[in-house]
């Protein structure tokens, strides 16, 4: 027997984070991805225990202004990539500037300074991850995925996919199918 699972990373992280906060009996609310609103101050000992507990799950508390801004940029980009077509078709610089109330130039400079990659490269990497997910879990054609992810053409999507992964989307699908078959035969 095998299961193919479709999951929402944002929802998983939100639930996991809320469980950890509840474990420490911290009165707060997990709102948007990557943001927790505390209703009261937390004793330093409990705060440090929370930090250690979250590290086990790869969750890190961001505590400097530039890193916080970068996390907000990442959240906005990921939100945009998983949103409906209307949001995805917006110009990223305008979308980020409006959403974060900063000039795109400032956002771009801070992002590159903290992450060592450009916003554009971050978007490309996450778009390709989203395409890989869609190729593995949905029965969509490359044309549908290309349209959904706001690519100008299937050829451009395929070229970008191959530049990042080293294989074409079609080859990627074949490899994943063969991997599933091999796992089933074990």
166 and 154 in a single domain? The answer is yes
On whether residue 3 sits in a domain, the answer given is no
Q: Give the per-residue SS3 of 99-112.
A: HHCCCHHHHHHHHH
Structural domain ending residue among the three candidates 61, 79, 103: 61
Query: Are 128 and 165 part of one and the same domain?
Result: yes
pTM: 0.68
More confident residue, 76 or 41: 76
Length of the chain measured in residues? 186
**What does the pLDDT look like over 112-126, one tens digit per residue?**
998 999 999 999 999
- N-terminal to C-terminal alpha carbon distance within the chain: 11
Which token pair is 128? 């390709």
Question: 104-115 and 92-100 are packed helices; what angle lies between their axes, rounded to 10 degrees?
Answer: 90
Read off the pLDDT of each residue in 142-161 and give the average, rounded to a whole number.
Answer: 90
Q: Is residue 96 within a helix (H) or strand (E), and if so which, with residue range?
A: helix 92-100
Q: Is-contact 70 82, C-beta < 8 A?
A: no
């Amino acid at each position: 027997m095998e299961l193919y699972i479709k999951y929402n990373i944002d929802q998983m992280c939100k639930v996991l984070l809320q469980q950890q906060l509840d474990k420490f009996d911290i009165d707060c609310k997990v709102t948007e991805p990557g943001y927790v609103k505390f209703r009261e101050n937390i004793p330093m000992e409990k705060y440090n225990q929370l930090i250690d507990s979250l590290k086990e799950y790869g969750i890190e508390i961001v505590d400097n202004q530039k890193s916080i801004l970068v996390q907000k940029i990442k959240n906005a980009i990921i939100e945009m990539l998983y949103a409906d077509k209307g949001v995805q078709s917006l110009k990223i610089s305008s979308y980020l500037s409006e959403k974060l109330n900063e000039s795109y130039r400032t956002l771009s400079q801070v992002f590159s300074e903290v992450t060592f990659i450009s916003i554009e490269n971050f978007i490309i990497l996450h778009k390709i991850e989203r395409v890989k997910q869609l190729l593995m879990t949905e029965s969509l054609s490359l044309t549908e995925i290309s349209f959904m992810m706001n690519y100008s053409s299937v050829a451009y999507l395929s070229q970008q996919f191959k530049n990042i992964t080293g294989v074409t989307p079609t080859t990627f699908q074949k490899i994943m199918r063969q991997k599933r078959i091999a796992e089933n035969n074990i």
